[in-house]
Amino acid sequence: DAMVIQNPRYQVTQFGKPVTLSCSQTLNHNVMYWYQQKSSQAPKLLFHYYDKDFNNEADTPDNFQSRRPNTSFCFLDIRSPGLGDAAMYLCATSPGQFTDTQYFGPGTRLTVL
C-alpha cells in the first residue's frame, strides 16, 4: 500500500545534541511537509517542499533545518534541541497541483532530556 513512513517512531536526545528525523513516501507526491505538534494541539507547519523548492514558515526557528534529497525522502534536522522542542513531529505529503488533501505519517515522538 502507498504510504508515508516516519523513522524512528520514538527518539530520545539530550539537550543540545543534534538529531535527525526521517520521512519517506511511496505516493510519489510532489509536496512534503514537516509539522510540529504539541499535546492536543493542531499541527504547526514548520516548512514544506514543492518538489525541490524549499519554503520556510516565517516563525520556524533557525534551529530547524530540512533536506529533501529526492522525491521520496525528506529529513528534519534539529541542530541544538531544547526542552521546548519536545513534541510529536509529523510528516505529510500532498499531490500539490491545486489538490488540498494531505496524507500524514504516524509521527515521531521526540523527547529531550
Selected from 19, 25, 36, 43, the binder of other proteins by CB under 8 A is 43
83 in contact with other proteins (CB under 8 A) = no
Tell me the C-alpha distance between 29 and 61, whole Å. Answer: 26
Identify which range of 12-20, 58-66, 72-80, 98-106 contacts other proteins by CB under 8 A. Answer: 98-106
Within 10 Å of residue 94's Cβ, how many Cβ atoms? 18
Q: Which is nearer to other proteins, 75 or 104 (CB)?
A: 104
Selected from 7, 14, 41, 80, the binder of other proteins by CB under 8 A is 41
90 in contact with other proteins (CB under 8 A) = yes
36 in contact with other proteins (CB under 8 A) = no
Closest by CA to 54, choosing from 72, 38, 31, 73, is 31
Q: Which is nearer to other proteins, 16 or 33 (CB)?
A: 33
Residues 6+ apart with CB under 8 A from 63: 78, 79, 80, 81, 82, 85
**Which amino acid is located at 37 in the chain?**
Q
Map residue 83 onto helix, strand or coil: helix
- Residues of the shown chain interacting with other proteins in the complex, contacts defined by CB under 8 A: 4, 6, 31, 33, 40-43, 45, 48, 50, 55, 88, 90, 92, 94-107, 109
